Amino acid sequence: MENIERDLLRGHLEGMVLSLLETGEAHGYEILKRFQSRGAGALTLKEGSLYPALYRLEQDGFIRGKWETASEKRRGPRRRIYSLTDKGRKELARKRNTWQTFAEVVGNIMEATT
C-alpha cells in the first residue's frame, strides 16, 4: 500500500485514536502497534504525535488514563493505560459521521468524469 502523506493525517488523528481504543484499553505503545497494524503500513504515527493527542483527548474527557499497577511479572517503568469514556464514544460516533461525509464529498470531487 502506498504511503499516505502526513498532512492527510492531521485533523483525523484523534478520531483514529478513539477508534483504536474502542476495541479495549491500551497503553501508548499498544496504540501505536494497533495503528500500524490497521493502517497496513500506509500511515506512520510517531510517539511525538500520539502522546499530545492522548493528552488532549484525556483533557477533553474523551478518554480516561490510569497508571498501571505494579506487577511482579512485568519489569520497567509504569505505563499509563487509556480507555474510552461514554463521552468519547459519542465523540467517536460524531467523528465517524463527519469522516463519512468528508470522504463522500472528496470522492465526488476527485471522481473522473467522462
Q: Give residue-wise pLDDT tens across range 36-63.
A: 898 877 777 888 889 999 999 999 999 9
The answer to whether residue 90 is domain-embedded is: yes
92 with 56: CB under 8 angstroms?
A: no
Amino acid present at 30: E
Res 89: pLDDT: 98
pLDDT of 10 over the 80 cut: no
Cell numbers at residue 92, please?
A: 467517536
Res 1: pLDDT: 39
Residue ranges making up the domain that contains 85:
6-110
Number of domains in the chain: 1
Report strand pairing: 80-84 vs 63-67: antiparallel
The pTM score is 0.84
The answer to whether residue 1 is domain-embedded is: no
Q: What is the CATH number of the domain that holds 78?
A: 1.10.10.10
The answer to whether residue 70 is domain-embedded is: yes
pLDDT of 72 over the 70 cut: no
> Which strands sit side by side in the sheet containing 80-84, from one edge to the other?
26-27, 80-84, 63-67
